[in-house]
Amino acid sequence: MRNPLIIGTRGSELALWQANFVKSSLEEAGIPCELKIIRTKGDNIQHLSFEKMEGKGFFTREIEEALLSYETDIAVHSHKDLPTEPAPGLIIAAVSERENPAEIFLIRKSCVDTSRKFCLKHGAIVGTSSARRKSQLLAFRKDVQLKDLRGNIPTRIGKLREGLFDAILIASAGVARLETDLSDFRIEQPDPREFIPAPAQGVLAIQVRMEDRELIEKIQVLHHPEVLRTISIERKILNLFQGGCQMPVGAYAEFDEETGMYSVRACKSRTWDELPVCIYADSKDPEVLAERVVIKIRSVRPSGVFITRDIRPDDYFAQTLTAHQFNVTGQSLIETRGIAFREIPDCDWIFFSSRQAVQFFFQQHPVLKSPRFACVGKSTAETLRKFGHRAEFIGSSVDTRMTGKQFAALAGNSRVLFPQAKGSLRSVQQQFSKKEKITDLVVYETLRRPLTRRPDSGILVFTSPSNVESWLNQFEIPPTAKIIAMGDATANALKQKGYTSIRTDAFDDTGLARAVFGVSSKS
């Protein structure tokens, strides 16, 4: 091995942070290194958005060429920038721990509207050159104006400060690694299960020549095999679509140690201005997931869909499916009516298990003594924010019992208030061992809302047990219908009546859309 080893890297502030991180880690293991800065095609061409640049590897090719010509010994890359087909003669010898894979919105404080998705004001000008980010953002917020934004992270943030954009959308990992001061912006971070990141986002790839066996062995001190297992699923999805980092493909895989299950959420568009097809899959065998996802995305066939809720003007679910020729109709089969309460007992936490609970609670203008807030899922948390409050706990499981166990562990001996519907199942409360710490507060009731006729849609989406009950009070479910249940409680309500359903993977519109795309697939 050469002494010191030469590490090839781009010259941006983030690339140098990444290379110096590898350098210091290797030097701690007794391997001296120095850096060599290499300019790439992506550095030299700043006037084009990514989807307009030809070829693949425009942030990595020159660095790989320096490695192959023995100018350097190690290359450090943002893994998401690498082509999925390895360069002949080179190997990824190690991958780093994964920094937060999520995206973040940086929003000028004068452009914030907390009542809207991602807190972007109506018609906000958002900067990004990623086709994947553009496609997904338009699915959530068709009113925003997208404007190309290139440059390293400090340059992009500088353009935001100059007022060229109302907000920018970038990877969380980069600003976290640079410890950038963002105090003059509103920061919004979508869940990576909802706004899907690029394959391998947040991971560093350490690349060497295949022939350097001694170096490969020494570099294992940097390697995280558990990270490799999940990002390999993500990268294989991109590979099967034959795409590079400019293709509008997102993939995010996870491993659940308790169940031994791998899961992946993926989305793909043909172009930046086409809304994505989204799919969820899970298996104990990570090798089958990528191909399963790609087959499903390629074989989606439009159908009629009926959902047991009213269609909203900004409905991600309806807009995304309609963009792919699904015929989407909907009507809530229940009506809600508020129930007045007189006073609120002292509490440390307030837990909301539905959007309606939030609305009917705050419509009565309760006097609060600075409690902390918790919500069963993202949709409920978004409704809470419209009333000026943030949830410190947001459930991520479609099994409300699991959410209850997680919240009970966090709340401990705290006093918890549960605004709820009359006759609520109380799935979360039942997970508390100290029942004396719990107070239920009925703030609304549900009433049946009949349909004038049974929908003839091939896919039926039930959003709550009450909607199941209301439907079955009027009609049977056709034996040919494909049934989707939002969460375990809804699935159990159907099961008790003899119906088998597909559960959504999340309590939000993206989970609903993934379920519909999944059951409509001809795979």
Report phi then psi at 110, rounded to 5: -75, -10
Residues 503 and 398 sit within 8 Å (Cβ to Cβ): yes
Q: In angstroms, rounded to a whole number, what is the distance separating the alpha carbons of residues 456 and 478?
A: 9
Report phi then psi at 87, rounded to 5: -65, 135
8-state DSSP, 73: S
Strand partners, 127: 147, 168
Catalytic residue selected from 43, 73, 81, 348: 81
Q: In angstroms, rounded to a whole number, what is the distance separating the alpha carbons of residues 341 and 59?
A: 60
Q: In angstroms, rounded to a whole number, what is the distance separating the alpha carbons of residues 219 and 25?
A: 10
- CA–chain centroid gap for 145, Å, is 21
Nearest Cα to Cα of residue 150 among 54, 48, 249: 48
Which ranges of 428-508 would DSSP assign to H, the alpha helix? 465-472, 488-496
Q: In angstroms, rounded to a whole number, what is the distance separating the alpha carbons of residues 167 and 160?
A: 7
Q: Which amino acid, 440? A: D
The radius of gyration computed from the CA coordinates of the chain, to the nearest angstrom, equals 25
8-state DSSP, 310: P
- Give the total residue count for the chain: 523
Q: In angstroms, rounded to a whole number, what is the distance separating the alpha carbons of residues 278 and 39?
A: 36
Q: Which amino acid, 85? A: E
Between CA 341 and CA 353, with CA 347 as vertex, the angle to 5 degrees is 65
Residues 227 and 97 sit within 8 Å (Cβ to Cβ): yes
81 included as an active-site residue: yes
C-alpha pair distances (Å), 448 with each of 7, 85, 466, 467, 473 = 67, 56, 8, 8, 9
Nearest Cα to Cα of residue 462 among 423, 512, 498: 512
Residues 42 and 49 sit within 8 Å (Cβ to Cβ): no
If one counts every other C-beta atom within 10 angstroms of the C-beta of residue 186, the result is 18
Helices (H) and strands (E) in the chain, counts: 16, 24
Q: Are strands 416-421 and 438-448 parallel, antiparallel or unpaired?
A: parallel
If one counts every other C-beta atom within 10 angstroms of the C-beta of residue 156, the result is 23
Report phi then psi at 479, rounded to 5: -65, -20
Phi-psi region of 144 (alpha: psi -120 to 50; beta: other; left: phi over 0): beta
Query: What amino acid positions are annotated as catalytic residues?
Result: 81
